[in-house]
Amino acid sequence: MMKIKVMSVFGTRPEAIKMAPLVMELAKRSNIDSLCCLTGQHREMLDSVMSIFRLHSDYDLNIMQKQQTLSSITTRTLLGMEEVLSEAKPDLILVHGDTSTTFAGALAAFYHKIPVGHVEAGLRTYDQYSPFPEEMNRTLVGDIAALHFAPTDANAQNLRKEAVRGEIFITGNTVIDAMKTTVRPDYRFATEKLNRLDFSERKIIALTCHRRENYGQPMHDIFRAVRQIVQTHPDVEVVYPVHLSPVVRECALQELGGMERIHLIDPIDVEEMHNLIARCCFVMTDSGGLQEEAPAMGKPVLVLRRETERPEAVAAGTVKLAGVAYDNIVRLANALLEQPEVYDRMAHAVNPYGDGNACRRIADAIEWHFGLRSEKPENFQAQVK
Ligand code: UD1
Ligand code: UDP
């Protein structure tokens, strides 16, 4: 039987979370030899995901440096991939999303004339500096890829509009597949601080903030707004697992440190995070992934960014673009905390991003592309509510 070699290349926490269910699906296919190459763009945060999903790596470039620059991530990945690709000679490389690992991994494959499959393709703001550098990373990979796995119909439409080369499949987002295994009603937190939270009597806000375009003044303004929200609502507590980036940690500590009802904790593993979202009151975040996960659990989200490449949940009413200005963030959070009708309007579960079968569709599409399967997978169709 003909077997193809598929190498998944990833390096940051969100890529690992969203690639994990796909790597597991590929491993089940008898005609696919599945390999993992980690860049190690993140170290601790990546290793935590690998261990939760019990994944092992075949290659690890271990590129992370303290306060690394975009150029160093890109060049170290390119150089590292050189040897890996020459040795492993995969038939297909899979990259995910929009990080520097994604871009450099795809470029390295292109230099070796190895086709690239892009998972989570076609999301766009069409502002090259927002999110930065992710918008450009994702767009450039769109030019390189031979297979585009677009989560939603709108993402596929962007790619068609840009007349990208290659085939487009609408698959849903793999993060919804991942959540099938992580979210459990009887889940007990491993982090004692989370077990001690009173989710029924207190309004618990889950906060994350880490993006490069928010470094500096925007991040200070966001955190000052959070402080104000907590100070004016005695029943509110904030849980913020602070990203390991030194820039983020310094700002968080300076603006939010030492406050009784603001819990600054280290990053938590993905099971802890998903179950925290499932139980919290609402989410404030500049993360991409959380904008997909929280709506699936019926939790309102205030997005701490000027733009989003994920407009589907905004249209569905579960997500609001709060921006980065102090006044607007405080105003929107106050409305959620003080006006039950505003909260209820936002707090309904919507799944515009997937139905939990994205990985099956992607693996089927790969097999179809290589002539190992006769039928093309059906497209994911979001349920219209
Ligand atoms: C990266 C991605 C961003 C993604 C984010 C997810 C790029 C350009 N950015 O940004 O798209 O949203 O990951 O979290 O690809 N660090 C550690 N240990 C870790 C992880 C990070 O110490 O496990 C520290 C290091 O000092 C590192 C710094 O965080 O230099 C920044 O990491 P980096 O990957 O460059 O940027 P992120 O902001 O994490
Ligand atoms: N996440 C996690 N632990 C944390 C914070 C976030 O497991 O302490 C998860 C979150 O649920 C989501 C992903 O990490 O699946 C998002 O990653 P991040 O915010 O770092 O990147 P982005 O999605 O913005 O690219």
Q: Which residues of 115-130 are buried (b: 16+ CB within 10 A; e: fewer)?
A: bbbbbbbbbbbeeeeb
Kindly give, in sequence order, each residue whose CB lies less than 8 Å from that of residue 323, ignoring residues fewer than 6 positions away: 304, 305, 306, 329
What pLDDT sits at residue 383? 78
What pLDDT sits at residue 7? 98
What pLDDT sits at residue 385? 55
| Of residues 354, 352, 334, 330, the one with CA closest to residue 343 | 334
Ligand 1 centroid to Cα of residue 42, in Å, is 6
Q: Which residues of 46-77 are buried (b: 16+ CB within 10 A; e: fewer)?
A: bbbbbebbebebebbbebbeeeeeeeebbebb
- List, chain by chain if needed, residues with CB within 6 Å of any ligand 1 atom: 12-14, 41-45, 64-68, 70, 73, 98-100, 133-134, 210, 212, 244-246
pTM: 0.98
Whose alpha carbon is nearest atom 9 of ligand 1? 99
Catalytic machinery residues: 98, 120, 134, 210, 212, 243
Distance CA 341, CA 278 (A): 20
Which residues, given as ranges, of the chain have pLDDT below 70?
A: 384-385
Instruction: Convert the pLDDT of each residue in 82-102 to its tens digit.
Output: 999 999 999 999 999 999 999
Kindly give, in sequence order, each residue whose CB lies less than 8 Å from that of residue 42, ignoring residues fewer than 6 positions away: 11, 12, 13, 64, 244
Instruction: Convert the pLDDT of each residue in 14-72 to its tens digit.
Output: 999 999 999 999 999 999 999 999 999 999 999 999 999 999 999 999 999 998 999 99
Ligand 1 centroid to Cα of residue 90, in Å, is 27
Q: Best mutation site among 19, 77, 99 for ligand 1, i.e. most ligand atoms within 8 A of its Cβ?
A: 99
